[in-house]
A and B are shown apart, each in its own frame.
Chain A
Amino acid sequence: MPEIDEPARLARRQLLVRLGALGATAGIAPSLLRVPPAGGRAVRGVSPATAAQAAAASGELTLDTLSGVAAFVMPGDDAYSTHQGVSLPEPGGIAAEAPALVADILNTYYAVPEVAAFLVEVLTAELSAVPLPAGLTGLTWLDGLLEVDATLPLGPIAAAIINLLAVQVDPASVTGPFLTPFPRLSWADKAEVWRRFEGELPNLFTIGAPDTRLPFISTILDLLATLGGLLRFASGAILEITIFAGYSEYGVFDPATRTLTGRPVGWELAEYPPERPVDGWDELIGYYQGRTTADA
């Protein structure tokens, strides 16, 4: 008896072709979406110097934006919290080193260059409107990273999108303290960024049924839905993992010994009782109504 054939798989090359096919089906995208050219990503000719600059600055830019997020989520007595107009006389997410952990989680979560490139294509104009230090923009930052090693982790993508929305919410955020626009916003404007990130941005990728019978359209629509879905996921996940990071042991964890070097900021804030992991608590009161077993 013959074995059942292995089903076809969608290889990266095929994905690129299908992305390019979107360009060939003019009319299926709403005006909000720019159509990437056939064959995949446009080559914009980012210079090697720009690419190197983008790569060199990337970590710092990402951390700066995520510091703005950490202050928004978990304000404290740091400069980012003070600037947003909501601060507290105690440590916050930045003191807990939440931005570094969030960046690490995002950067190791998922990276598919073709999909990232498609996203950059879709948001080209908006990313161009995000000025960054050293002559970079949101667009040249991400394009430069793609140029360097053709991978684009989620950290810079997320940061670029957050900044893109920041500039839209408050155009004055293109200049000011800090490296990137988002940390320059007030707490209320940061909330407005997130309202758009959760509610409006992903909807740009939801388009109606196309007036065409061309093949693989459903796959393309599926891909657009996937990109919108990934944005929806990211909009929630960034907030959740920022809280997780801020209240975790990350900032005082020694990976070499896998022990704590001090008391975590988040534990102190939450008055979480242990100084370090315990083997147990003297917490046994007894059994409710003396019930040590359920009735038969």
Chain B
Amino acid sequence: MRDVIVIGAGGGGPVVAKELAGRGLDVLLLEGGARNADPDREWTDLENDANNFTKGYLRYGPSDRSKPAWFRELPQNSYLWQVAGVGGTTLHYFGNSPRAYPGTFSGYAAADAAAYDTAHRFPFTYDELVPYYEWVEATLPVQTAPMGTKEEVWYRGWENLGYPVQRGKDITMDAYRPQQNAILQPGGTAGRTTDSAALQWPQATGCTFCGYCLQGCNNPPAAPRNLKAKRSTDTSYVPMAITADAWTPGGRPVTLVTDAYATRIRSTRDLLGRVTARGVTWRDTRTGETLTEEAKVVVLSAGCVEGPRLWFNSGLPNPNGWVGRGLTDHAFDWVVGLFPFDTGSSRGAQSQARADFPGRGGMENVGLPPASEGISLGLSDSGVRGAYDNGAGPTGPWDGQAGRPLGAELKEVQDNIDRQLNVLILTDDDVERNNRVDLSVLPPDEHGRVPRVRMAKRTRSARTRANRDFLAAKATESLRAAGATKVIRIDMAPLMLHLQSSLRMGTSASDSVLDANARARWVRGLYVADNAALANACGGANPTLTTQALATRTAEKIFATHFGGDPWVAVEAPVVSTDERVSAALMQP
């Protein structure tokens, strides 16, 4: 019997795995997708090869790309952008690692306290999470983003509007700032040359400004895996987890099994009706073989869609009906400005600057390669600009009605990728009961009944819609202040990329699945450690850092509750994931 089985090697699971491996526990880490062991050979930086959602190497599907992707029902115009494989959705994330807005936590009593989703706060204080933020920020590490041309343009806009700079990590006011990114700052030749020969590690260290965050980061070339620039979990927490004996005394390397699709959390019910998690059954996606292992503790980290699906397919209890409910997605919107000068949109990490509006949400500058930009331009709920508005098409400070540019206007917008600057709107959206993951009535696949993901964009709460409109208008102002000659608001249909809170922790047992320790309320020995565990949308802050801080806290709770151990974050210093002992252990044959 294992001490702990962690289901899912995405943004959260490897954090629990690494932390508990560092305490000497026997941890099995299961991942349904690919190992991604050799990105030099497996990845190309090309958009269709990477991000085609049916066959790309960063799709949600099995490692064998000749097999179909895994189907999830989306009963609305929307795009669900998750990635299977070691690293999960951090493989394509931008590394943006802001802390959550303090107003989303219990105990917050500042003047703007009523501005947040007050019914769904985190069940503990912001101050309690800060030491865990600091631990993760040091481990990844999280660093202040450098500046390229698109950041210069971004800052100019906010300077011209007269906003202040947020100088610390805690979000305290309406302000702009450089991103705190889980990306190593450029060193040596990185960012200073386009010559491939000169960009080899160790001549170059950190971010080389290649502009391929979305296709998976594999730079600088020749760097050991834990020294790649972007700190997705495949370069940070997973390397530490599988080398735990190398960097900490008493550490025990995690057993990582990939192509292992969890199909059931095994459980027992005693005479008093109490349900206890006992282990996990998974299917080897290469052989079709079904395997089972038992464990003292099971940690569910399979993502906001797969987590509820596995819960339902395992027949676990759901007495208040909140499993899968309360899904938040930051109600993304996309505002693109066209400029008569170079914006550098195709060069550099894809978002290195942001602005925050506590109680409303945030926004960030984004530069994308042309095909991914096309997805963003096309995913609209407001029809085709100039032709029809699909019953929406809001107007505002942007040019014309919101909607997707198609035909001649699309060609105009895409005429020069380096004369665009995009703003991604990250709404502080409310937890709402009817936005949810449940099971489709369509036939099951080889892993059981398939999930259905419902996000009713047009009937989001009044606060959510008002926040989104406010941010889109503010983004438009900033682009114009930076020199944009035309601004288009897309009015995105749900782009489900920041998913949160589908197995949420909460202050009330009536509308949450997890208690304040991220423990399942109705299943003993079961914890959740991914974005699904978040109580809310973090105020509009990109969720990964908060998930990782929370997962660190959850690891401590597991260690104390089930293995009689003591907490460590308050009394120890973390080892950084770039530690040379990790590099050396990874390079051993």
Q: How far is the CB of A66 from chain B (nearest CB, A)?
A: 15
B10, CB-defined interface residue at 8 Å: no
Residue numbers in A under 8 Å from B416 (CB-CB): 270-271
Contact in complex: B415, A73 (CB < 8 Å): no
Q: Are B441 and A15 within 8 A (Cβ)?
A: yes
Instruction: Give bound CA distance, A53 to B275, whole Å.
Output: 58
For B24, what are the chain A residues with a Cβ–Cβ distance below 8 Å? none
* Candidates A2, A235, A240; contact of B374 at CB < 8 Å: A240
Interface SS of B by simple majority: loop
With an 8 A cutoff between CB atoms, is B199 at the interface?
Answer: yes
Query: Is B144 within 8 A of A294, CB to CB?
Result: yes
Task: Report yes or no: B384 in contact with A191, Cβ–Cβ below 8 A.
Answer: yes
- Please report the total number of A residues contacting B with Cβ < 8 Å: 93
Give the contacting residue for B449; candidates A3, A10, A18, A225; CB below 8 A: A10
Nearest residue in A to B419 (C-beta to C-beta)?
A271
Using known A-B contacts A4-B267, A109-B69, A281-B194, determine if residue A269 contacts B146 with beta carbons closer than 8 Å: no
* Residue A49, interface by CB 8 Å: no
Q: Which of A6, A18, A228 has the most CB of B within 10 A?
A: A6
Q: Is the CB of A285 within 8 A of B190?
A: no
Known contacts A73-B406, A248-B47, A294-B169; A283 and B209 CB within 8 A of each other: yes
Q: What residues on A are CB-neighbors of B404 within 8 Å?
A: 239
A187 proximal to B (CB < 8 A): yes
Does B316 sit at the interface, judged by CB under 8 A?
yes
Query: Is there a chain A Cβ closer than 8 Å to B283's Cβ?
Result: no
From A237, A239, A277, A280, name the one whose CB has the most chain B CB atoms within 10 angstroms: A280
Whether A258 sits at the interface, judged by CB under 8 Å, is yes
Q: Is A46 an interface residue (CB 8 A)?
A: no
B151 within 8 A of A: yes
Across-interface contacts of A74 in B (CB, < 8 A): 407, 410-411
Residue in A188, A226, A247 whose CB lies within 8 Å of B441: A226
Cβ distance A198 to chain B, nearest Cβ, rounded Å: 5
**B563 lies within 8 A of chain A by Cβ:** no
Closest chain B residue, CB of each to CB of A9: B444
Among residues of B, the one whose C-beta sits closest to the C-beta of A194 is B384
- Of B71, B147, B383, the residue contacting A286 (CB under 8 A) is B147
B190 touches A105 (CB 8 A): no
Contact of A11 with B144 at beta-carbon distance under 8 Å, contacts A1-B268, A270-B370, A270-B417 already known: no
Which residues on the A side are within 8 Å of B152 (C-beta)? 285
Contact B371 A10 (CB under 8 A): no
A47 contacts B by Cβ under 8 Å:
no
Contact A3 B266 (CB under 8 A): yes
Q: Are A247 and B370 in touch, CB under 8 angstroms?
A: yes
Q: With A and B bound together, what is the CA distance between A7 and B374 in angstroms?
A: 41
CA distance A222 to B162 in the complex (A): 52
Give Cα A282–Cα B348 distance, bound, in whole angstroms: 9
- Residue-wise interface mask of B (402-420) relative to A, using a CB-CB cutoff of 8 A (1 in contact, 0 not): 0010111011001111100
Q: Of B73-81, B325-333, B356-364, B529-537, which stretch is located at the interface?
A: B73-81
Number of chain B residues whose Cβ lies closer than 8 Å to a Cβ of chain A: 111
CA distance A43 to B168 in the complex (A): 69
B155 contacts partner chain A, Cβ-Cβ < 8 Å = yes
**Docked pose: A104 CA to B52 CA in angstroms:** 10
List residues of chain B with CB within 8 A of the CB of A195: 383-384, 387-388, 390
Which residues of A sit under 8 angstroms from B369, Cβ to Cβ?
272
B417 and A73 contact, CB distance less than 8 A: no
**A121 CB, min distance to chain B CBs, angstroms:** 17
A101: contacting residue among B48, B374, B390, CB under 8 A: B48
Please tell me which one of the listed residues A1, A101, A245, A272 contacts residue B270 in the complex, with CB atoms under 8 A apart: A1
- C-alpha spacing A284/B416, complex, angstroms: 21
- B-contacting residues, A53-89, CB 8 Å: 72-75, 86, 88
The verdict on B123 contacting chain A, using a C-beta distance below 8 Å, is: no
Contact A105 B52 (CB under 8 A): yes
Q: Chain B residues with Cβ under 8 A from A9's Cβ?
A: 444, 448-449
Q: In the bound complex, what is the Cα–Cα distance between A187 and B204 (angstroms)?
A: 50
Asked whether, in the complex, the Cβ of A229 is within 8 Å of the Cβ of B191, the reply is no
Tell me if B499 counts as interface (CB < 8 A to partner A).
no
A239-257 interface bits toward B, Cβ cutoff 8 Å, 1 = contact, 0 = none: 1111111111110010000
CA distance A219 to B276 in the complex (A): 31
Q: Is A236 an interface residue (CB 8 A)?
A: yes
Any A CB within 8 A of the CB of B466: no
| A294 CA to B353 CA, complexed, in Å | 13
Please pick, from A191, A230, A243, A266, the residue contacting B73 in the complex, using a CB distance under 8 A.
A230
CA distance A108 to B55 in the complex (A): 9
Q: Is the CB of B370 within 8 A of A266?
A: yes
B264 contacts chain A at the CB level, 8 A cutoff: yes
Residue of B nearest to A239 (CB): B378
Bound complex: CA of A198 vs CA of B209, how far in Å?
Answer: 39
Interface residues of A in 83-119 (CB under 8 A from B): 86, 88, 90, 92, 101, 104-105, 108-110, 112, 114-115
The smallest beta-carbon distance between B236 and chain A, in angstroms, is 19
User: Given A223-B441, A240-B374, A247-B370, list of 18 further CB < 8 A pairs?
Assistant: A4-B275, A4-B316, A6-B315, A11-B443, A73-B378, A75-B407, A115-B442, A233-B74, A239-B378, A248-B48, A266-B371, A270-B416, A280-B219, A283-B148, A283-B149, A288-B165, A292-B143, A295-B169
A-B contact pairs, 16 of them (CB 8 A): A108-B54, A228-B75, A233-B74, A235-B77, A243-B377, A243-B410, A244-B375, A246-B371, A259-B44, A266-B370, A269-B415, A282-B193, A283-B149, A286-B146, A291-B144, A292-B144
